[in-house]
Chain A
Amino acid sequence: AQKVTQAQTEISVVEKEDVTLDCVYETRDTTYYLFWYKQPPSGELVFLIRRNSFDEQNEISGRYSWNFQKSTSSFNFTITASQVVDSAVYFCALSGARGGFKTIFGAGTRLFVKA
């Protein structure tokens, strides 16, 4: 069975602080994909990053960075110098070959960034 755990339900930070959102996954597939999506207060879902199981390189995109570690089954997301506009719910998701690439979403982490 596949599972995604986002243990942090809510995080509150002050603007310009760095914040890391944790994601731990379970899968028996050797080929799988991990995703992060953002859901701002307006409600739409916005894709942030996709990573396949064969690529453990960390990635940086502006203030966003992702740390993928297969040894600990984690795919953590860090926002550097957070801004109020980063306030949203962030979802980690997993899609494995054995499940026909159905996507399983974590419960989400709600991030509040205060000015």
Chain B
Amino acid sequence: NAGVTQTPKFRILKIGQSMTLQCTQDMNHNYMYWYRQDPGMGLKLIYYSVGAGITDKGEVPNGYNVSRSTTEDFPLRLELAAPSQTSVYFCASRSSGAQPGFDSNQPQHFGDGTRLSIL
């Protein structure tokens, strides 16, 4: 059981380049999240999804885009990389719980992170 898998683990980009951070989970979770963690700081929510085809903005969405075409995959796109986007990016997923129609907000499962540097 792989859980949440993020690729790549490390990446260096030049200013203005674009890239996609991949995230896939094999737990059939409806909820998926992207966070960024700046040095010495907590996690800031970038985007999240409550199911395939549904995405919404978090606290810091500017400069990013997401899509959710399948339950398993939730890629994060940086279109024009800027030095301010240098960070560690975490993808997470969670279940809504066993009871149909009731979200019991189960704990999030995190990927190992992607360390991204923009130079």
Contacts and interface: CB of A to CB of B under 8 A. Distances in A.
Interface of A: 33, 35, 43-45, 47, 50, 52, 91, 95, 97, 100-108
B50 A103 contact: no
A33 B31 CA distance: 16
Given A91-B42, A102-B45, A108-B41, A50 B106 contact: yes
Interface of B: 31, 33, 35, 41-45, 48, 50, 56, 58-59, 88, 90, 92, 103-110, 112-113
9 contacts: A45-B108, A47-B109, A91-B42, A100-B50, A100-B56, A102-B45, A104-B59, A105-B42, A105-B44
A3 B90 CA distance: 20
B105 A33 contact: yes
A35 B58 CA distance: 19
Contacts of B105: 33, 50, 52, 95, 101
B107 A107 contact: no
Contacts of B48: 102
Contacts of A102: 45, 48, 58
The 3 closest A-B pairs by CB, nearest first: A45-B110, A47-B107, A105-B42
Contacts of B104: 52
Contacts of B43: 91, 105
Contacts of B88: 43
Contacts of A107: 41-42
A9 to B, nearest CB: 9
A56 B10 CA distance: 41
Given A102-B45, A102-B58, A106-B42, A44 B103 contact: no
Contacts of A52: 104-105
